[in-house]
Structures are given as structure tokens and as C-alpha cells.
Amino acid sequence: MARGRGGVPALDSRHTLLLAPAPELLPANVAGRETDAESWCQKLNQRKEKLSRREREQQAEARHLREDVNADPEVQRCSSWQEYKQLLQRRHLQKTQSRPPHLWDQPVTPLLSPGQADSPATVFQHISVLQTTHLADGGAWLLEKSGGLEISFDVYQADAVATFRKNNPGKPYARMCISGFDEPVPDLCTLKRLSYQSGDVPLIFALVDHGDISFYSFRDFTLPRDLGH
């Protein structure tokens, strides 16, 4: 315990003491020790992260596909690191022994291992050619490529004029890109960069042709799945 002047305990001092883990829970070449993690806790950013709808959908889909090793009943019954390694070794032997030589010892092998085909939905997920993607994915590295089509201005709805402030306008209703009819069609890199810059605000393209204006935009859609279980 921390002490103040004259050896009196400092009651206002905070500690987050992490005890040393049991040796049998660690690999043989890893040594654990007691640690005061308070200094690290103070450096953590504890503010609640604000995610867009698209980011929340991506996280939900990632959680759906990600396997949690701690939810495995056999893993939960392991009381030491050595027992866990033995479990992995047994499973590896079971997989290798269950593979018929006429299928797995040839130049052309099956697309999936027997352990991966636990349901039709899992099979479709592993062999699917098209994966879920969004137009703004991977747009961060394109920000350095300036030039060409840019976002011209933000659009705010008429009913938001009362709360509109120049120094803090708030979230726009849409972002507008203006292009002439005789200008080249934007390539995929430009579309990805503009979509990334727009964030979760709808991006609208205004095409001007001798006084006539046409509006275009991209919308996300989800292809139907054959099996959802």
C-alpha cells in the first residue's frame, strides 16, 4: 500500500492490482507476475465509441462469423495450458485420420475439411465467391489522391434552419457532387474516396446537361442467402 508522510497510508491513492496467474495456466516458457495496472487504466480511452449504422452492421456480421474459443465446452473443461494443448493435438489427429487418402492425397482436394461442413449455411459461407462489401471500404488510403471530382457542398433540410449554426452546422442531410455532362465518368477509386469522405451521410451526384440537372446516388443492398441456418 502506498504511504504518505510519516508512514501513514495514503487513502486517496488508487490501485488496480492484478495477481500473478497460476503457473499451470501458462505455457512452460512464460512467467507471470503480480502487476499494478492503475497507470494503464488511467491511459485508457473510456469514452463510448460512436459508430455509424454501417460500422454497427459490419461488427454484427463479424461477431456472427467469429468463433469464440471460450464457448467451447471441451475448452472450458481444461484446467491447465497443458490440457488445452493436448485437446488441440487430439482434434488435429482426429481430423487427419478422418480424411480418406483417395480424396486428400491427390493434386485436387475438396474445398472444405469435414470439420468445416457442420451446416449448409457454413458450407455456403466458406465457398462463396462474393463477400459482403461496402463502397467506402478501403477508402482511407485514397484520400492522398486528390484532384478530380470533389464534394461541392452540404445540403441541410429546410426544417433544420432554426437550429443551424455556421460554427456548428450539425449533420447534413446529404453531400452534393456536381459534374458536367461532358466531363469523364468518375472511376471506382474516385467513388470510393468520395463515399469514405461522406461517411454515413448520403452522397448525391448532380449531373448538369445544358441547364437540365439529373441526380444519382448509390444505395446499399443485400443479396438473398440460400440458407440462413
How far is it, in rounded angstroms, from Cα 31 to Cα 131? Answer: 42
How far is it, in rounded angstroms, from Cα 18 to Cα 115? Answer: 38
**Domain 140-217: CATH class, spelled out:** alpha beta
- CA contacts within 13 A on the Cβ side of 122: 11
How confident is the model at residue 10, as a pLDDT?
A: 44
Domain range annotation of the chain: 14-43+51-97, 106-132, 140-217
Q: What is the grid cell recorded at 33?
A: 507476475
Longest dimension (CA), the chain: 86
How far is it, in rounded angstroms, from Cα 126 to Cα 112? Answer: 8
Could you list the mean pLDDT of each consecutive 10-residue stretch along the chain, which spans 229 residues?
42 70 82 82 72 80 71 87 89 74 80 73 72 70 73 81 72 88 83 84 88 84 61
Nearest of 222, 227, 171 to residue 199 by alpha carbon = 171
Task: Give the SS3 label for residue 173.
Answer: coil
How confident is the model at residue 173, as a pLDDT?
A: 86
How far is it, in rounded angstroms, from Cα 161 to Cα 173? Answer: 12
Is there a contact between 150 and 177 (Cβ–Cβ < 8 Å)? Answer: yes
Task: Give the SS3 label for residue 186.
Answer: coil
How confident is the model at residue 146, as a pLDDT?
A: 67
Is there a contact between 11 and 67 (Cβ–Cβ < 8 Å)? Answer: no
How far is Cα of residue 176 from the mean position of the Cα atoms in its chain? 28
